[in-house]
Amino acid sequence: MTYWACVKYNEAERPMIYGTIQAYLKDAGERMCLTKKAADKMGLPVGFKLVRGAYMSSERKLARSLGVESPIHNNINDTHDCFNGCATFMLDEVSNRPGGLILATHNLHSGKLVAQKAGEYGITKDSNKLEFASLYGMAEAMTFGLRNAGFSVSKYLPFGPVDQIMPYLLRRAEENKGMLSSSNLDRQLMMKELKRRTKAHFGRGVTESENQFKPQATP
């Protein structure tokens, strides 16, 4: 369905329809390369939203029940390598050709890597070829840093019944352990900002109090 929509609606330099690549799957890189090659052959701009994944536990259980090899990478480092490799490949592809990449991540290392690679490949921040995305309330320090650097950044907010949303959020935490380290950084920066504002507020109050006792200049 996604690829059919790409063929039907992706006509301009910037794709309207993006397909999702889940980097926790062992064949993610191969599928991205084959899709990009097919799109180039058809003369279509193609865009990918790159994520790490979501259903590791259930897919491993399904593979065991069917007696087949698990489609999931054996460890989280392999998933990280696949994610960063796919991102680098796609940045190279769109650097001088139509296409786009949405990097959905809370991982600081991946965010820094892609921002650096974008500069190396000459992808300007206003080219609309690269966008970062993350959950609202997570990796805020990375979000503000990327936005202040001029990159396009979007936040998305899941909503619905608690019994459905909580498993979704837990899967996000499971798929990307780097999110926890970024949350620690968020807390550190928020505490630093809170202290700065508190100091500024009370400092201003002290200054105002001191001014009340200063002799007033006579007209």
Contact 138, 182 (CB under 8 A): yes
CA atoms within 13 A on the CB side of 209: 6
pTM of this structure: 0.76
Say which residue, 4 or 92, is predicted with more confidence: 92
Q: Would you say residue 215 has pLDDT above 50?
A: no
At 87 the pLDDT is 96
Q: What is the DSSP letter of 67?
A: T
Percent of the chain topping pLDDT 70: 81
Instruction: Determine the 3-state secondary structure of 217 from DSSP.
Output: coil
Could you read off the pLDDT of 41-62 as tens digits, one per residue?
A: 888 889 999 998 766 667 778 8
Residue 82 has pLDDT above 80, yes or no: yes
pLDDT of residue 141: 82
Contacts 24+ apart (CB under 8 A), 181-190: 181/108, 182/106, 182/107, 182/108, 182/138, 182/139, 182/141, 182/142, 183/138, 183/139, 185/108, 185/141, 186/138, 186/139, 186/140, 186/141, 189/140, 189/141
Task: Provide the pLDDT for residue 214.
Answer: 44
114 pLDDT band (50/70/90 cuts)?
very high
Mean pLDDT of the chain: 81
pLDDT at 213 (0 to 100): 42
Q: Which of 36-40, 74-78, 107-111, 203-207 has the lowest mean pLDDT?
A: 203-207
Q: Lowest mean pLDDT of 26-30, 57-61, 116-120, 202-206, name the range.
A: 202-206
How far apart (Å, rounded) are the C-alpha atoms in residues 158 and 135?
8
For residue 107, pLDDT beyond 60: yes
**How far, rounded to the nearest angstrom, does the alpha carbon of residue 140 sit from its chain's CA centroid?**
11
Q: Is the pLDDT of residue 156 over 90?
A: no
Across residues 207-215, what is the average pLDDT? 45
